[in-house]
Amino acid sequence: MPAEGDGKVQASVPAPAAPAAPAAGAAAPAAAAKPPPAAAPGPVAATGGAAILARLRAQRAAKAASAQAPAKEIVVLYASQTGTAQEIAKNIQAEAEQKGVKGRVLSMNEFGFDNLNAKEAPVLVYVASSTGDGDSPDNSAKFYATLRRKSHPEGMLKGIAFTGFGLGDSNYTRYQYVPRAVRQRLLDLGAAEFYPAGEADEVDGIEEGLDKWLEGLWPALKTAVAPEGASAADTPAAEAAVAPGAGGAAEAELAGVPPLPRCRVRLVWQERGAAAAAEGGAAAVSVPPQLEFRTPTAAELAYRDPEGHYSAEQPFWAPVTEARWLITDKSDADRQVLHVELDVAGSGMAFAPGDAIGVLPQNDACLVAALLERLGLDGEAMFDVQPAEEAAAAAGGGNVGAGGAGGSGAGDAAAAVSSAAASTQHHSDRLLPHLRAPCSVRAALTAGVDLAAPPHKSLLRLLGEHCAEPAERRRLLHLCSRDGRDAYAADILAARPTLLDLLKQFPSCRPPLDALLDALPPLAARMYSLTNSPLATPEKVQVAFTVVRYSTERFGERQGVATSWLNALCAPLASGPAAVDGTAANGAAANGAAANGGSAAAPIRLPIFLRRGGAFGPPDLLATPLLMIGPGTGVAPFRGFLQHRRAQAAAQAQAQEGGSGEGAGAGSKGAAWLFFGCRREDQDFLYREDLQGFVADGTLDRLCVAFSRAQAHKVQGARVYVCGDGAAMAKDVHACLQSILAQQGGQSEAEAAEQLAEMTRQGRYVRDIWS
């Protein structure tokens, strides 16, 4: 995953004996202090002189031993889906280096579980988050799954000292699940916690809890990295001068400017077309001509996992078989909802209601083109990614600067051999695996990194480092400093500028491409709940999404990265009354035929993978009542629940007619209620015909929409499901349910809260929400 920083770095593999050159403008690692020359002992009194001499010799020997035994290096690992945990990890490593502690920072997958031992990671700091409801982020999934295996011998991690920080969202049922699981497993396998792990809840904001945890980390870390037999005061960390910043004098005027993280990578330039040839060439995929699209290679298109396990690194390229609009008012551009169906036949995916698919989106082609022009880059130049130290050792690896792409290293034999070897690695085991290098600069910016997210402070720090104008540099450093928190909240978090917006605001800023790619967060997969059941459509997955559009005060209209891309890609297939910009249902076929010389169109394909819903799924027994709450597109997964329930009821009825008395959930059918909210009954009543059909055939006992009256009949022992926005809706629904339990059940608020907590533990109150 991406990292931020600039300059030469330590490699992602165990560091070589020779230290890496420090980054331009970065503080050089503190040199190990030489022991002072042995002073000739002065005259000593006869009485006790031998003892004093022995003590002096012992002190000199201890100092010499301390100087010869270097301080331990740290490894900072992160598990990050949105980039927040990655940002914290990078800042920890950069500040530790500024304090004289050497180390590396990588995603858990980049580091690899096989390297988790006392030699490679004597001191470990992790920053971890969960995604979904307790799932591991994509850039840690492989490491996390291996760590949790029960077959590991006890004590295998003995000798590792660790601490960690967890990020979570208390809206979710399994709050802090991954961070806590990582900590417990490290303890189980013999690692020792040198400083208590910390946690932060995104609902309350993470800065206060993080700052408090970091205050105690630094003295504990000094002790942890001290050589055996040496005190913390003897370590370089204690002796190193702590400058206010790591890139020059300008930040000395500001309080709390973060240090400049080192760039971990260098780009090795290749001849154009070499990478495509190595991968077997691109496959034919129909794409509207106005879109840039990362076309899958033949190998990617043919890839099948026998167990149906796909990931962001190795997705399944599923053809789009249907698209239709779900909102009837074509004039309401802010409320367009698209239903898309994908064919997963032959993929091996075994999906269930409540599951979701991850879709790998792409950045807007116009944004990418404008960024290439602003940075003066050749979008078609091909490159591979290497750890900075390895690339520096290889002969000739040029860099792409302001003037364009390419370098004398493109044909260098050593670089080519190294690049070929690196390209055979599995993507998840490499630095910046989301770039899928070797690739072109345009492909990296299109499908690899997030260009639209508000910049993290580490990116601002990098941009400030590469401003030629002092005033621009000071402004960017202020935004990322402790003194600039209010300015960062107003000018970055609230205003939401993109990278291109900032580069326009600060015209003297010319960041190098390698540091930029290392600093930008990866373009994360977007998760969409499935809206169908495999019992109804066994080889198809269906999703629904709102095309996101919003306005910003300073930068005008914005569009969601993923939904606007999916909309543009799938709109030519769409049927229904809300077709966009006059696109016709056969537009994709026409584009595909043109792209293939008039032959039959190749299908539009999307790179996807499956994410399990965990506890968020319909009950196995039909006798269990269902209470579902899903406003807007939050109703989508409940369509799948009800399709599943209808098929279960049909199977049960058939079994009972056959006299077996068995079947799916044999027994009486529990009541099923759905609460749905929308703006206008005649325009955005999503899946109206489907839902009314469930009511008509008895699958759904009660459909309560925002304009319907609730009935007085009480249902007890039900399961409650909530799906939708976690920023406001889920908290409000939770508070409403708690209030209902208190008022109607004659309980206190505390008792009602405990009842909801108990329902959660029993699996009777399950939420699938997003922030």
Provide the 10 A C-beta neighbour count for residue 424.
Answer: 7
User: Locate tokens 């993470």: which residue?
Assistant: 206
pLDDT for 218-228, tens place per residue? 999 999 998 87
Q: What is the pLDDT of residue 683?
A: 74
Residue 44 lies in a domain: no
Q: Is residue 559 part of a domain?
A: yes
Q: Which residues of 318-337 are buried (b: 16+ CB within 10 A; e: fewer)?
A: bbbbebbbbbebeeeeebbb
Confidence bin at 129 (pLDDT 50/70/90):
very high
CB proximity list for 686: less than 8 A, separation 6 or greater: 326, 327, 337, 544, 632, 633, 635, 636, 676, 678
> What's the pLDDT tens digit per position in 240-284?
433 334 444 455 566 678 888 889 899 999 876 554 544 445 555
Determine contact, residues 365/290, Cβ cutoff 8 Å: yes
Of 104, 145, 81, 129, residue with least CA distance to 14: 104
Q: Is the pLDDT of residue 318 over 90?
A: yes
The pLDDT value recorded for residue 336 is: 86
pLDDT for residue 372? 96
pLDDT of the residue at 335? 72
Q: Are residues 576 and 505 located together in one domain of the fold? A: no
Same-domain pairing of 514 and 532: no
Say yes or no to pLDDT of 517 above 60: yes
Cα distance between residue 89 and residue 165, in whole Å: 9
Average pLDDT of the residues in 145-155: 94
Residue-wise pLDDT tens digits, 338-362? 999 999 999 999 999 999 999 999 9
Summarised one tens digit per residue, pLDDT across range 676-701 is 987 777 777 899 999 999 999 999 99
- What number of other Cβ atoms are within 10 A of residue 222's Cβ? 22
Residue 610 has pLDDT above 60, yes or no: yes
Residue 19 has pLDDT above 80, yes or no: no
Q: Are residues 155 and 202 in the same domain?
A: yes
The pLDDT confidence band at residue 660, using thresholds 50, 70 and 90, is: low
H-run or E-run covering 740: helix 729-745
Supply the pLDDT for residue 279: 47
Q: Which of 39-53, 98-112, 179-193 has the lowest mean pLDDT?
A: 39-53
On whether both 340 and 372 belong to a single domain, the answer is: no
pLDDT at 331: 54
Q: What is the pLDDT of residue 234?
A: 54
SS3 readout for 217-239: HHHHHHHHHCCCCCCHHHCHHHH
Q: Are 697 and 743 in contact (CB under 8 A)?
A: no
Is pLDDT larger for residue 482 or for residue 68?
482
- Is 22 within a domain? no
pLDDT greater than 60 at residue 403:
no
Q: How much is the pLDDT for 303?
A: 92
Domain with residue 651: its CATH number is 3.40.50.80
Q: What is the CATH number of the domain that holds 479?
A: 1.20.990.10
- Picking from 320-324, 392-396, 541-545, 645-649, which range would have the lowest pLDDT averaged per residue? 392-396
Domain check: are 492 and 547 in the same one?
no
Reported as a pLDDT band with limits 50, 70 and 90, residue 666 is: low
Beta strands at 719-725 and 626-629: parallel, antiparallel or unpaired: parallel
**How deeply is 354 buried, as exposed, middle or buried, from its count of CB atoms within 10 A (0-12, 13-18, 19+)?**
buried
pLDDT (0 to 100) of residue 231: 57
Give the C-alpha separation, 239 to 232, whole Å. 10
End of a domain among 561, 580, 614?
Answer: 614
Mean pLDDT of the chain, nearest integer: 78
Q: State residue 284's pLDDT score.
A: 52
CA distance 130 to 140: 10
Question: Residues 609, 544: one domain?
Answer: yes
Domain that holds residue 101: 71-233
The most confident of 35-39, 634-638, 657-661, 707-711, by mean pLDDT: 634-638
Last residue of a domain, one of 502, 521, 540: 521
Specify whether 556 is located in the same domain as 584. yes
CATH of the domain at 184: 3.40.50.360
Over the stretch 702-717, which tens digit does the pLDDT of each residue have? 999 875 334 445 556 7
Which of 448, 390, 455, 457 lies closest to 94 in space, CA to CA?
Answer: 457
Res. 598: pLDDT tops 80:
no
**Which of 468, 498, 521 is the last residue in one of the domains?**
521
CA 689 vs CA 33, 157, 310, 485: distances in Å: 77, 57, 33, 50
What pLDDT score was predicted for residue 153? 93
For 371-392, write each residue's pLDDT tens digit.
999 999 999 999 999 988 765 5
The per-residue pLDDT for 576 is: 59
Per-residue pLDDT, averaged over 602-609, amounts to 90
* Average pLDDT of span 647-667: 74
Domain shared by 722 and 709, yes or no: yes
Dist CA 691 CA 699 (whole Å):
9
Q: How far apart are the first and last CA of the chain?
A: 22
- 428 and 330 part of one domain: no
Task: State the helix-helix crossing angle for 470-479 and 457-465, rounded to 10 degrees.
Answer: 170
Task: Locate 101 and state its tokens.
Answer: 């502690």
For residue 169, tell me if it sits in a domain: yes
Distances (CA, A) of 730 to 703, 727, 737: 20, 7, 10
Together in a domain, 130 and 189: yes
- 415 in Cβ contact with 395 (< 8 Å): yes
Number of domains comprising the chain = 4
Each residue's pLDDT tens digit, 410-451: 334 344 334 433 433 444 457 888 888 899 999 999 999 999
Distance in angstroms (rounded) separating the CA atoms of residues 386 and 431: 7
63 falls within a domain: no
Same domain, 673 and 572: no
What pLDDT shows up at residue 574?
Answer: 77
CATH assignment at residue 530: 2.40.30.10
Specify whether 511 is located in the same domain as 386.
yes
Residue 41 lies in a domain: no
- Select the more confidently predicted residue: 429 or 188: 188
In a domain, 61, yes or no: no
Residues 195-236 pLDDT 10s: 999 999 988 888 888 999 999 999 999 999 988 755 555 555
The reply to whether 408 falls in a domain is: yes
